């Protein structure tokens, strides 16, 4: 469970990225966060795993007050939260298999960490994770040889190998073509259903958000302006979230 209580995030330059956020996400939900670029979607996501610190209010993840954690505790929190990025953020020069194995590293003894020696169990785990997203055949191919969609699946496998209870996805399909984007979204949906992992996804494609997510959170200038089931999102609501800009675009088309 993720619980924001009156959360405010103010950047060092004085910009208020999040203002009075109150949001509760139960275990196993599939939430899409939508809003304009710069509205605070990324910031919202990154506060959950303490990639960003919050300025005031409180934020609980599985009943742990995230803002009070330090050093090692933050890393422990992050072990339970997976993150997916727009540009995949894989190590390009090595194989998919090795990229996935990296997710076991934080729990390994020091000598294994230094030498990068994995146990057989971990190797099987990594291959299983790759199999789960249907790219087992690409396990020993260098990541930079793969297409965008395949790379995002490797990233997804890496996150699955970590076995988190929550997956945060920051624009996971923004650099993919429409067909591949749908495939990746289907992967997310399947993981959400099969493994009961909470998925919070930032997304620009409203149609995909409405199709795959069960709940939609709309953010405008750092504030939540809509929070409800994806099925109840109407054009008026989208207009409200996007400051009326969506309507202009629709008219333009």
Partner 1 sequence: MNILKAKSITLPNGKTVPVKRSKTPLIIVVLLICCYYSVQITGFNLQVLTKRIGQFWVILVDMVPPNWDYISKLWKPLFDTIKMSLLGSILGAVFALPLAYFASSNMSKNKTVVVATKFILSLLRTLPTLVAALIATFIFGIGTTAGTIAIFIFTIAYIGKLLYEQIENADLKAFEAMQSMGHSTVSAFRYAIIPQILPNYLSNAIFCFEGNVRYAAILGYVGAGGIGLMLNESLGWRNYANVGMILLLLAATVFIIETISEYIRKKLL
Asked if residue 140 binds partner 1 (CB under 8 A), the reply is no
Piece of the chain touching partner 1 by CB under 8 A; list 89-97, 199-207, 220-228, 236-244: 89-97
Asked if residue 78 binds partner 1 (CB under 8 A), the reply is yes
Asked if residue 53 binds partner 1 (CB under 8 A), the reply is no
Beta strands 2-10 and 56-61: pairing type? antiparallel
Minimum distance from CB of 101 to partner 1 (Å)? 9
Asked if residue 76 binds partner 1 (CB under 8 A), the reply is yes
Asked if residue 113 binds partner 1 (CB under 8 A), the reply is yes
Minimum distance from CB of 86 to partner 1 (Å)? 9
Asked if residue 144 binds partner 1 (CB under 8 A), the reply is no
Contact with partner 1 (CB under 8 A): which of 43, 159, 198, 202?
159
Minimum distance from CB of 11 to partner 1 (Å)? 18
Asked if residue 179 binds partner 1 (CB under 8 A), the reply is no
Question: Quick one: tokens of 224?
Answer: 């939540």
Asked if residue 43 binds partner 1 (CB under 8 A), the reply is no
What residue ranges bind partner 1 (CB under 8 A)? Answer: 49, 51, 75-79, 81-83, 85, 87-94, 102-103, 105-106, 113-114, 116, 155, 158-159, 162
């Amino acid at each position: 469970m993720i619980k924001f209580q009156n959360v405010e995030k103010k950047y060092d330059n004085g910009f208020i990225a999040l203002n009075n956020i109150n949001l509760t996400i139960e275990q196993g939900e599939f939430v899409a966060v939508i809003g304009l670029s710069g509205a605070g979607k990324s910031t919202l996501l990154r506060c959950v795993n303490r990639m960003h610190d919050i300025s005031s209010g409180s934020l609980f993840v599985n009943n742990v007050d995230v803002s009070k954690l330090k050093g090692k505790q933050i890393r422990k929190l992050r072990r339970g939260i997976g993150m997916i990025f727009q540009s995949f953020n894989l190590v390009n020069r090595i194989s998919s298999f090795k990229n996935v194995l990296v997710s076991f590293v934080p729990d390994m003894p020091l000598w294994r960490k230094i030498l990068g020696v994995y146990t057989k169990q971990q190797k099987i785990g990594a291959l299983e994770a790759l199999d789960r997203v249907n790219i087992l055949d690409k396990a020993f191919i260098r990541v930079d040889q793969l297409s965008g969609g395949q790379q995002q699946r490797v990233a997804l496998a890496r996150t699955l190998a970590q076995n988190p209870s929550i997956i945060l996805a920051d624009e996971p399909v923004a650099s993919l073509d429409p067909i591949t984007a749908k495939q990746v979204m289907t992967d997310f949906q399947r993981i959400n259903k099969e493994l009961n992992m909470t998925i919070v996804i930032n997304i620009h494609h409203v149609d995909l958000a409405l199709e795959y997510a069960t709940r939609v959170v709309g953010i405008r200038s750092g504030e939540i302006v809509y929070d409800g089931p994806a099925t109840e999102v109407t054009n008026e609501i989208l207009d409200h979230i996007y400051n009326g800009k969506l309507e202009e675009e629709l008219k333009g088309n």
